[in-house]
Amino acid sequence: MVGAIEGLSHMTFIVRDLDRMEHLLTTILGARKVYDSGEETFSVSRERFFTIGELWIATMEGDPPPTRTYNHIAFKIDEADYDAFLQRISALDLELKEGRSRVGGEGRSIYFYDYDNHLFELHTGTLEQRLIRYGRGR
């Protein structure tokens, strides 16, 4: 029998410009850089590692996704910080994506694209709140 998944290991984003993505991650998400391969490649290309809380984010130099989709990564933010995050995103002149229609009680979201077609969401709600709002509370 196979063991259980222990949690999320890391997320990797393929980007054209490692410096530009580093600026986005550190400025908007408060990421901390913990590794830079420099000119060496231990994987498939130059890479950098960041932490956001306990989450490990990897960025690798390469050809990013050719198109934009709704596939995204969502980070939890506090409702009180919503406007501050919106200002950070606007300061980097990133494209905001209009969010989907929502019902009251499931939180608010800011959607934005990075420079390489990755979609990010900053969300104020929780899974528990959403399940309760949808009538399927645990």
pLDDT digits (tens, 9 = 90+) for 46-78: 999 999 999 999 999 999 999 999 999 999 999
Domain count of the chain? Answer: 2
Name the residue type at position 22. E
Q: Give the relative orientation of helices 18-28 and 82-91 as an angle to the nearest 10 degrees.
A: 160
Which of the pair, 133 or 24, is modelled with greater confidence?
A: 24
pLDDT value at residue 30? 96
Are both 46 and 98 inside the same structural domain?
no
Question: What is the rounded distance in angstroms from the CA atom of residue 113 to the CA atom of residue 6?
Answer: 29
Final residue belonging to a domain, choices 40, 63, 86: 63
pLDDT at 131 over 70: yes
CATH code for the domain of 138: 3.10.180.10
Q: Which two tokens stand for residue 69?
A: 């989709």
Question: What is the rounded distance in angstroms from the CA atom of residue 43 to the CA atom of residue 123?
Answer: 32
- Residues marked as catalytic: 47
